[in-house]
């Protein structure tokens, strides 16, 4: 009997809400706007909670890991100081992960900032590469290496290492990998990062790779390791334009 009564009550309640649904028209009254500025006092409880973590983070971000003798500028040119630094660091790590890696590749848009001359901190590297992109090694046919070169030519050059690319009228005029012309029947190993390997930045030349190896090593970690290794060996970052990507007149 009790279960029957509970069921009847439930049905009645559902019916009531169903009948009222179309009549409900909630409105907002007594609107108030709150000004958020320096006059708004911080919640000391919250501040005291996160302050130790903030201090620890700032200490790490301000930690100096190396020195650059020149400012590594980011200017959108076919070849840039920061692009060469970035690609050289990537090739250095790629060869550690796979000694058969011959070239490296990034994009101008993926490098978010340059580096100032002088002390280089962890925070500076985060500014350059704030994303969680990780190292990827691709095995490509000679034909797809030529497609890669075409992409770079059409986009006015991109950060690379291990190659020399000459562009004329938006087309490949000359392309060498480790000082040699591409053999269409050979295979090559290229180190880049997962975002580009997945087709990011409109990269379409990696849609038919022969093999792919994704690593957990993040690009940001690679850059920090590269700078730290230079420092360990008593060296500074040496930025220079060496003609690896050139637009012919």
Rounded CA gap, 106 and 203, in Å? 11
Which class for 113: exposed (0-12), middle (13-18), buried (19 or more C-beta within 10 A)?
Answer: middle
For the chain, the maximum distance between any two Cα atoms, rounded to a whole number of angstroms, is 95
Structural tokens at position 75? 């200017």
Give the residue from 176, 174, 180 showing the smallest Cα distance to 248: 174
Helical segments of 62-201, H only: 81-97, 122-128, 142-154, 194-197
pLDDT in tens, the chain (249 residues): 434 434 444 444 444 444 444 455 666 567 777 777 777 777 777 767 766 677 777 788 999 999 999 999 988 899 999 999 999 999 999 999 999 999 999 999 999 999 999 999 999 999 999 999 999 999 999 999 999 999 999 999 999 999 999 999 999 999 999 999 999 999 999 999 999 999 999 999 999 999 999 999 999 999 999 999 999 999 999 989 999 999 998
Strand, helix or coil at 247?
Answer: strand
Rounded CA gap, 80 and 26, in Å? 59
Q: Scan for tokens 């790590």, then name that residue.
A: 93
Residue ranges of domains in the chain, CATH in brackets: 62-247 (3.90.780.10)
């Amino acid at each position: 009997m009790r279960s029957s009564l509970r069921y009847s009550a439930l049905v009645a309640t559902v019916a009531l809400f169903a009948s009222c649904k179309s009549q409900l028209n909630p409105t907002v009254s007594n609107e108030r706007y709150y000004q958020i500025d320096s006059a708004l006092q911080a919640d000391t409880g919250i501040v005291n909670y996160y302050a130790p973590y903030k201090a620890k983070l700032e200490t790490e971000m301000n930690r100096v890991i190396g020195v650059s003798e020149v400012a590594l500028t980011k200017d959108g040119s076919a070849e840039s100081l920061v692009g060469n630094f970035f690609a050289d660091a990537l090739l250095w790590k790629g060869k550690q992960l796979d000694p058969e890696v011959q070239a490296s590749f990034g994009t101008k848009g993926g490098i978010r900032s340059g580096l100032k001359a002088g002390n280089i901190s962890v925070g500076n590297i985060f500014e350059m590469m704030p994303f969680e992109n990780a190292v990827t090694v691709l095995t490509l046919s000679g034909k797809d290496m030529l497609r890669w070169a075409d992409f770079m030519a059409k986009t006015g050059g991109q950060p690379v290492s291990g190659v020399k690319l000459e562009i004329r009228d938006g087309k490949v005029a000359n392309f060498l990998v480790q000082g040699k012309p591409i053999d269409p029947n050979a295979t090559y190993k290229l180190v880049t990062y997962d975002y580009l390997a997945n087709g990011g930045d409109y990269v379409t030349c990696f849609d038919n790779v022969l093999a792919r190896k994704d690593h957990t090593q993040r690009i940001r970690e690679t850059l920090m390791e590269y700078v730290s290794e230079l420092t360990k060996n008593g060296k500074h970052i040496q930025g220079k334009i060496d003609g690896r990507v050139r637009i012919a007149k």
